[in-house]
């Protein structure tokens, strides 16, 4: 969970003027691209927002597209989630934690998730590399799930007999569905804990501490 933060600007390092202005430009472009998209954002706007001349942007970045991919890469930085396998937990807890961090990540990065999704949906040639990178992250996540489920089945913890690949795919689909529900309906319409509890029940049967009194998994209105 460590790598969830955006890289902080090292204010102590000796930064050149150039680096400073470059950073300012990237920051402005990031905001504008994310809120309006690529084609709807003009270089003049970026220049104004960054309080810099338009020519300077073209000094730092040869073309508008080069600026765009620089922004993409910067936006992607926080996406490399550190899924430290906490060996202490059993598989069920690990899987639920994985699902939880997926959802909380989406919650915390909603605007850029939205941006990436829109970008990938609609501007294919501009963001092939983005597509690749996201796909990589995605399949890594899926592989983790598959392995966890397989292990749980071997241990006999998981009662569901579905093939691990199918189960993982279904689980991921459910998570993605929550993602888009969240993006459209907003925070209040989604109940992450309830959803996580549901997939848990789906895979493993009754809730973990069902004999005692605990509030998890209660149906919401």
Partner DNA sequence: AATCCGCCTAACCTTTCGGTCAATGGCAAC
Partner DNA sequence: GTTGCCATTGACCGAAAGGTTAGGCGGATT
Query: Which of a copy of itself, DNA, none has residue 63 at its interface (CB below 5 to 8 Å by kind)?
Result: DNA
For residues 25 and 60, is the Cβ–Cβ distance under 8 A? Answer: yes
Which residues make Cβ contacts (< 8 Å) with residue 207, sequence separation at least 6? 197, 200, 201, 214, 216, 217
Q: Quick check: 161 and 138 in contact, CB under 8 A?
A: no
| Contact call for residue 218 and a copy of itself (CB under 8 A) | yes
Nearer to a copy of itself, 40 or 86 (CB): 40
Which residue of 183, 208, 213, 215 would you call a contact of a copy of itself, by CB under 8 A? Answer: 183
Options 44, 104, 129, 139; binder of DNA; rule CB under 7 A: 44
Q: Which partner from the list DNA, a copy of itself, none does 54 bind, CB cut-off 5 to 8 Å by kind?
A: DNA
Q: Which CB, 101 or 131, lies closer to a copy of itself?
A: 131
User: Least CB distance from residue 8 to DNA, whole Å?
Assistant: 21
Question: From residue 209, how far is each of 62, 126, 156, 197 by CA, in Å?
Answer: 59, 49, 18, 12
Got the DSSP string for 30-88? HHHHHHH-STT--HHHHHHHHTS-HHHHHHHSSSHHHHHHHHHHHHHGGG-------TT
Closest separation between CB of residue 198 and a copy of itself, Å? 5
Q: Does 37 bind a copy of itself (CB under 8 A)?
A: yes
What mask, x for binding a copy of itself by CB under 8 A, covers residues 135 to 174?
x--------------------xx-x--xx-xx--xx-xxx
Residue 104 and residue 101: Cα distance in Å, rounded? Answer: 5
- The one-character DSSP state at 5 is S
Using rule CB under 7 A, residue 79 touches DNA: no
Q: What are the residues binding DNA (CB under 7 A)?
A: 16-18, 20-22, 41-45, 52-56, 58-59, 62-65
């Amino acid at each position: 969970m460590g790598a969830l933060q955006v890289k902080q600007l090292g204010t102590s390092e000796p930064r050149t003027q150039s680096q400073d202005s470059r950073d300012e430009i990237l920051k402005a472009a990031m905001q504008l691209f994310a809120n309006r998209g690529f084609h709807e954002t003009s270089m003049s706007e970026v220049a104004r927002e960054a309080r810099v001349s338009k020519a300077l942007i073209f000094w730092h970045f040869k073309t508008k597209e080069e600026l765009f991919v620089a922004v993409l890469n910067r936006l992607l930085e926080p996406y490399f989630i550190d899924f430290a396998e906490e060996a202490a937990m059993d598989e069920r807890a690990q899987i639920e934690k994985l699902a939880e961090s997926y959802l909380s990540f989406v919650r915390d990065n909603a605007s850029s998730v939205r941006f990436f999704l829109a970008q990938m949906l609609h501007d294919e040639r501009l963001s092939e590399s983005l597509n690749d990178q996201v796909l990589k992250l995605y399949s890594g996540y899926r592989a983790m799930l598959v392995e966890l489920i397989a292990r749980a089945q071997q241990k006999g913890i998981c009662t569901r007999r579905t093939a691990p690949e199918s189960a993982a795919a279904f689980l991921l689909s459910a998570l993605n569905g929550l993602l888009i529900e969240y993006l459209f309906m907003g925070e209040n319409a989604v109940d992450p804990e309830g959803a996580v509890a549901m997939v848990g029940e789906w895979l493993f049967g009754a809730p973990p501490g069902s004999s005692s009194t605990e509030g998890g998994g209660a149906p919401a209105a």
